[in-house]
Amino acid sequence: AGGDGAVHRFIIDRPSLWWPRGHGEQPLYTMHASLHDGAGVKLDAWSGRVGLRRAELLTRPDAIGRAFAIRINGRPIFCKGANWIPDDCFLDRACDPARYRARIEQAVGANMNMLRIWGGGIYETEAFYDICDELGVMVWQDFPFACAAYPEEEPFRTLIEHEAQHNVARLARHASLVIWNGCNENLWGYHAWGWKEKGLVAGRTWGPGYYFELLPRICARLDPSRPYWPASPWSGDMDVDDGLDPNAATHGNKHVWEAWFGSDYEVYREIQPRFCSEFGFQAPPTMATLASVVEPQGLRRGSPALAQRQKSPGGDERNDRHLEKFFAMPEGFDDWHYLLQVNQARALTLGVEWFRSLQPACMGTLYWQLNDCWPVTSWSAIDGGGRLKPLWYATRRFYAPRLLTFQPWEGGLSIVAVNDTDEPWQGNLPIMRMDFTGRPLCATRADLDVEPHGVQRIALDNASLITPGDAAFEVLTSSAEGRHAFWFFDLDRNLAYEPPSFDSELSRHGDSWRFTLTPHTLMRDVCLFADRLDADAVVSDQLVTLMPGEPHTFIVHTAAALDERALSTPPVLQCVNRFGRRA
């Protein structure tokens, strides 16, 4: 009585702990609280679901620099996910609970365990975090400061303080929210983007008082149950003028844009981040989504209609430049559309598999971005129509609990097995060099023995195995438990792919179709674009690489009647064999 607050502590006996997906269950408790006056009259009441867990951020200095790892209930978690933006330009649609659930379930379907709510967006509504609580998806929550200088004078400062207090208190009950982050790229921008040299912040405040003082103080007072970090990226050095680069690879978390803005995506392998919280590569939306907003005459390279849907300055030219490194530029729009989507998926596959192979030095990858707010050429895996781009299917593979990948290492080549499960991964690993007709040229075996949540790197020091006789017509392959790894010895434009040749069979099963393809030669990155036949069609898989005689069944969910001939020919059926040296 007479005070303005009170603290009540109580003990829950042997609670069931909340875990991120892939690491345990997500039990949620319903809590009821009420406030009464001295006469027992209820003055206020609250109820809500809570999950019980301990969230920590490990940032200790080490032999490399400064670590960055999320630990839940004492276990370091490798974070696999993407950045999240508002799902529509109009927030009444973007915040629809059904839409939230559809999109978060798509993230879960791609084996993600974390979403980063980007600082250029919004605090989402309760429904978003409720669904993440249920599904075990960790949330990295940026405060809404992004890519800009923010004044610290009144009345702006008080408005910021009130807004932050309200949202920290509102969201504190959610088990899924595991880290607060002060801003997106503002410390990096001040340090490296020429703000000082251009006079943009001369004599002005620009925001560090929020990130280093106000926001951590609010979080410590209202929400001490989870860590706070001042920025993404940030190296941990508070001297933003003369200290360590906020985007240093060796310290804290890093944004890796050297690939998209640089020469090509193979540069990912030159970077060894501690935690990569933003990196991405572009591709157009699905054809069904694109055709819903662009007239047929606009579906051509360089059209004004397509240029309107490219919001990255120079993005279309950059996409073409990246594409021409690996492929001869195709003449037709449909082939160009397909190859851009292949390039996006390959870029993120290379980056994520490389970063995952580095753990525990690297403990997270959150690529840019999961979703889109309108139909646009962008970095997303799910386009503005809610349809899955090929990148989504690639994500499901490279974020799988167990991953097999070839990686260059210390001047040689290794095969790396990554095991994010609670069980050891053991077995006999076949590794073979063969030509594109499936003829074996050299083979060996290795012992697969990966501890739970561990990584095994096997150096391939057999020169006859890894040295091709004909680099244009050979591939290195390995597989374990249905997980395949491939290593090609040259760029697609130089590879002597055989023309696509296969047998096919189409049959209907209830409300879906089964299209089985059996190749006569290696077929790389096979995609079945059923949305070109029915805009609502959903395909079970994309970007499938098959060896001769290895059948693969695509399941197409659609109420429409499908035709085997249409499914068997471009632009519905595509594979990169059409774009090699012999094309």
Name the DSSP class of 232: B
Name the DSSP class of 73: T
8 A C-beta contact, residue 417 and residue 450:
yes
* Residue corresponding to tokens 């890894």: 466
The catalytic residue among 134, 154, 185, 197 is 185
Angle, in degrees to the nearest 10, between helices 333-357 and 315-326: 80
> Nearest 5°: phi and psi at 450?
-110, 125
Name the DSSP class of 267: G
Torsion 227-232-236-238 (CA) sign:
negative
> Nearest 5°: phi and psi at 106?
-65, -40
Instruction: Measure the CA–CA gap between 81 and 77, rounded to whole angstroms.
Output: 12
8 A C-beta contact, residue 183 and residue 211:
yes
171 DSSP β-pair partners: none
Please give, one letter per residue, the 3-state secondary structure of 374-438: CCCEECCCECCCCCECHHHHHHHHHCCCEEEEEEEECCEEEEEEEECCCCCEEEEEEEEEEECCC
Instruction: Measure the CA–CA gap between 504 and 519, rounded to whole angstroms.
Output: 9
Tokens read off for 321: 């430049």
Counting Cβ atoms within 10 Å, is residue 237 exposed (0-12), middle (13-18) or buried (19+)? middle
| 185 counts as catalytic | yes
How many residues appear in the chain?
A: 583
Name the DSSP class of 266: G
123-129 contacts at long range (C-beta below 8 A, 24 or more positions apart): 123/167, 123/170, 123/171, 124/95, 124/100, 125/95, 125/97, 125/100, 126/170, 127/95, 127/97, 127/100, 127/101, 128/95, 128/100, 128/104, 129/171, 129/174, 129/176, 129/177
Residues annotated as catalytic are 185
